[in-house]
Structure 1
């Protein structure tokens, strides 16, 4: 007799965010360097490839969604991206900082108010690992 095992979660495929203005959102994500895989300014759906996952944008097709959320994206260099964000005239919530949970990060909102957190795991030193 075969027993059925509990299904397991394997990976996050995508996050989809609603936008009220696809063209404006694409300018924002394009300026940050997000690589577009599908869609465009006149499309109702656009995907950006991030590692093995996707950040999708969908044109607002229903009533506004009320709520709050944050998308956390690991990047190779938090401070370099922060400087790029400032050079683009964007206003991050705060400068990059090291969090007690082991990440260096900062937040910036996209044009639709979605909070993006750009982060990088901190390297653990042998001394810190002993604590």
Structure 2
């Protein structure tokens, strides 16, 4: 059986590309392809990608899980998200599985988690 080498990208649906691109830019992503007026946008974080695809207005967007992003400073990211005008679901906290983390919900209802392994 072939082995999976790497997760290339995750694609999230949006009803408003400009609003979604603004959100993801505000939390640190760069636009690699597409943008506010595109039907498909690739956002970059280092070598990793997060894609946005424009969904028809009648297509419901449902919660399906979460994207977890490792950052160098969870508390600083929390402040940046709040300063950008967004409301995280809760303040940064230390989880029993060994990470400091918090979640924020993007404008289309996708849950984004920022995390960092706790020092041992």
- What's the TM-score once normalised by structure 2's chain length? 0.92
Match for residue 5 of structure 2 among 6, 10, 21:
10
Instruction: Tell me the secondary structure at the aligned position of residue 105 of structure 1.
Output: strand
Structure 1: segments with no counterpart, 5+ residues:
1-5, 125-131
Q: For the aligned residues, what is the CA RMSD? A: 1.4
Distance in 1 between residues matched to 2:16 and 2:85, nearest whole Å: 19
Report the number of matched residues.
119
Q: Residues 114 and 67 from structure 1, CA distance in 2 versus in 1: closer, same or farther, beyond 3 angstroms? A: closer
Structure 1 length normalisation: TM-score? 0.85
Q: Is the 8 A contact 2:63 2:110 kept in 1?
A: no
Deviation at 1:122, TM superposition (A): 1.2
1:97 positional shift: 0.7
Alignment of 1:23-38 (within 5 A): 23-38=18-33
Report the secondary structure of 2:116's partner residue. strand
Give 1 or 2 for the bigger CA radius of gyration: 1
- 1:72 partnered with 2:68: yes
Q: Which stretch has the larger CA shift, 54-63 or 94-103?
A: 54-63
Structure 2 counterparts to residues 53-68 of structure 1, below 5 A: 53-61=48-56, 63-68=59-64
